[in-house]
Structures are given as C-alpha cells and as structure tokens.
C-alpha cells in the first residue's frame, strides 16, 4: 500500500472576519491578488469539482480536485492533486481550511494530509503554504499581497 502518512498543519492569525478569509479562498478575484492563482468552482458544493488556475494564464490548470465539505465561513475541505495525476488516488491528498474566531480576528488552520513522504507535492506545498498564507494575511490586513 502506498505510504501517504505525511501531513502538515499550518496556523496563521489574521485580523479579518471569518467571511473575509473564507471568500479569499474561494473567490478568484481575491485569490489572484495574493496567491498567484485562482481557485475556481461552479458552486463549491460537496461533490463539485474545483481547479487551481494560474494568474498569468487562466488556461493553465495546476491542481484539480473535488469539494468534500463546505460550511461557510467555518470549514472547507477539498481533495487535491496535480492536474496530470488527477486519476491516481495515490497522488490525491486532502486539504482542510478551518476558520475560527480568535484574538482580534480569526485563526486559520490549513491541514494538509494524505501526502506521500518524499513526493514532489510534499516538497511543493512545504514551500508554497507559508508563502500563500503570509501573503493572504498581508492582503487582508494591509490591502497588499505578495507577488507570488
């Protein structure tokens, strides 16, 4: 059986409302300002597909998956794979966004599980999430994301 034991938990505190954080994940026009990508889905309902498209070229789809849970503005769970590996369950991982009120804003927890140790996906997300989440925080708190 394929080893998919690797996982990460990322936590960031953002001075914003849960709704703002939730929308920043699912609304393409906001994601483009901090992620270098947009997340696109017809309705974000469980069972629907979503894709992660490049800001520089909307025709390039880097990641795809299906929505597993959607409870705005508290929780969104997606499965997630490289576009080229989308039919291979061994290369499909799970990303959960949990948003809860904390301090003077929200605590956003991103839990990325079912990753293969040593995989390209693992290497990519280890670099990617800290940048994306710091950029999201920067956008919501200062109006300016990073150039990713």
Partner 1 sequence: MDDDKVFKTLADPSRRKLLDSLCDHNGQTLSQLCAALEMTRQSVTQHLGLLEDANLLSTTRKGREKLHFINPIPLYEVYERWIRKFEEGRLSLLHDLKTQLESDQP
Nearest CA to 14 out of 145, 147, 148 is that of: 145
Nearest approach in angstroms of CB 136 to partner 1 is 10
Judge whether 12 and 139 are in contact, CB under 8 Å: no
HSE-CB of 59 using CA atoms within 13 angstroms:
0
Nearest approach in angstroms of CB 127 to partner 1 is 10
Nearest approach in angstroms of CB 124 to partner 1 is 14
Interface ranges with partner 1 (CB under 8 A): 6-13, 109, 111, 129-131, 133-134, 137-138, 146
Nearest CA to 47 out of 83, 79, 95 is that of: 79
Q: Which is nearer to partner 1, 46 or 130 (CB)?
A: 130
Q: Which is nearer to partner 1, 91 or 137 (CB)?
A: 137
Cα separation, 74 vs 90, whole angstroms? 28
Burial 10-33, CB ≥16 within 10 A → b, else e: bebebebebebbbbbbbeeebbbb
Nearest approach in angstroms of CB 93 to partner 1 is 14
């Amino acid at each position: 059986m394929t080893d998919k034991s690797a996982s990460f938990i990322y936590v960031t505190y953002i001075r914003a409302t849960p709704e703002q954080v939730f929308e920043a994940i699912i609304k393409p026009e906001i994601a483009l300002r901090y992620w270098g990508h947009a997340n696109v889905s017809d309705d974000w309902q469980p069972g629907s597909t979503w894709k992660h498209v490049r800001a520089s070229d909307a025709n390039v789809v880097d990641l795809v998956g299906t929505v597993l849970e959607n409870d705005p503005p508290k929780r969104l769970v997606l499965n997630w794979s490289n576009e080229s590996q989308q039919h291979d369950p061994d290369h499909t991982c799970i990303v959960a966004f949990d948003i809860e009120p904390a301090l003077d804003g929200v605590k956003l927890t991103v839990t990325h599980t079912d990753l293969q140790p040593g995989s390209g996906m693992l290497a990519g997300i280890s670099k990617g999430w800290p940048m994306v989440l710091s950029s999201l925080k920067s956008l919501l708190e200062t109006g300016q994301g990073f150039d990713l």
